Amino acid sequence: MVHHREAVDMVDMEYRILGRTTLKTSAIAIGTWQLSGPITLDGKADGFTDVGRDQVINLIHACEDFGINTIDSAEIYGAGEGERRVGEALRDRRDRWIVSTKFGLRRGDTGKRVIDCHPQTIRKSLEGSLERLQTDYVDLYLYHSPPNVKSIEEGKQILDALKQEGKIRFYGISTDNADLVEQLSRKNAVEVVMFSQSLLTYPEKMLDLVQSHSLGSMIRGVFEAGLLTGKYFQHKPQLTKEDIRSSWMNDAKTEQYAVYQSLVPAGFSMTALALRYVLDFDTTHTVVLGGKAISDYQDALQAFQLAPLDHETQAALATLRQNLRQTSFKRRVINKLKRIFA
């Protein structure tokens, strides 16, 4: 095994308890959508340019050297190729990892997007994921599409049965719909929730639910699809059509986010600031990143060398968020009016 820790000055990973699950997760986790290869759904790109299976395996092993112990996938990523790559990478080291995967969103035989998390499909989806992951259990099993409210209790019975059988340890949902999480919480049908939070996105109700119900939290979208990495502050992205972001990011006004640059502490990167902001929340247990290279994770580790943000910086970031949200809202309204009157 190649050891990579020297490259990040021996930064010690931080670990947090994932809500009431008792799992001790690294504060940074690996997201694998970007690592799973291209996929088309309904004739449109819904993935990313393939970095290659060998590079994915090397990246996962390097992240283990960095102290990362949590990885997230889904049955739809790469139409199953994502889980297969994770399974290959974790072979002979499964016991060192917290493995999360998601169900209820998959690619049908004809290439259509299938949105279906009916209780009767859960067991079959899990068996497929376990086979691809080369394991007999997953630590976290999450809804990838919203369950029918009328089916929550039946779904809970099946998920509880799978827990009893030792095939899953804990379950939950990936969603930004706080009202749905509240409904699941009332029925004690959620233990972990994955949702978006960033310098631009402040999900107040979701954060309250995480705290009041002791839910495990997995934060995604911390870099807003790359807008907050600093990579596109000066140069517009030139993404290929295989990249799901190309339809909107190639034309986005990415330079407007350069206003954050003035708040980045000397010697640190924009990604460190964006990560530090989210890590400072008591409600943050792990941040799921979608890096495609080992260097992306090396850069992210800088966040642990950055002190918690002071009140003045937090206030400045809140003001920027409000200003950028207003600008974004105005642009959406103008674009909608153009479409109506075109």
What pTM did the predictor assign?
A: 0.91
- Rounded CA Rg of the chain: 20
Contact at 8 Å (CB) between 284 and 253?
Answer: no
For residue 237, what pLDDT band results from cuts at 50, 70 and 90? Answer: confident
CB atoms within 10 A of CB 60: 22
pLDDT higher than 50, residue 317: yes
What whole-number distance in Å separates Cα of residue 321 and Cα of residue 102?
A: 30
- Give Cα 97 distance to the centre of its chain: 17
What whole-number distance in Å separates Cα of residue 243 and Cα of residue 45?
A: 7
**pLDDT digits 0-9 by tens, 130-140:** 999 999 999 99
Of 188, 228, 184, nearest in space to 206 by CA: 184
pLDDT higher than 90, residue 31: yes
Which residues make Cβ contacts (< 8 Å) with residue 103, sequence separation at least 6? 74, 75, 117, 121, 122, 125, 126, 129, 141, 142, 143, 144
Second CATH level (architecture) for the domain 5-309: Alpha-Beta Barrel (3.20)
Averaged pLDDT for residues 147-163: 97
Give the tokens for residue 31: 């997201």
Of 33, 35, 47, 79, nearest in space to 194 by CA: 33
From residue 164, how far is each of 57, 125, 157, 169 by CA, in Å? 31, 17, 10, 9
Q: What is the dihedral of CA 210, 278, 95, 83, to 10 degrees?
A: 90
Which residues make Cβ contacts (< 8 Å) with residue 262, sequence separation at least 6? none
Q: What are the structural domain ranges in the chain?
A: 5-309, 312-342
Grouping H, G, I as helix, E, B as strand and the rest as coil, residue 140 is strand
For residue 226, what pLDDT band results from cuts at 50, 70 and 90? Answer: confident
Q: Which residue has the higher pLDDT, 250 or 52?
A: 52
Grouping H, G, I as helix, E, B as strand and the rest as coil, residue 288 is strand
**pLDDT digits 0-9 by tens, 175-220:** 999 999 999 999 999 999 999 999 999 999 999 999 999 999 999 9
| Average pLDDT value over all residues in the chain | 90
- Give Cα 22 distance to the centre of its chain: 20
Least confident stretch, 57-61, 109-113, 214-218 = 109-113
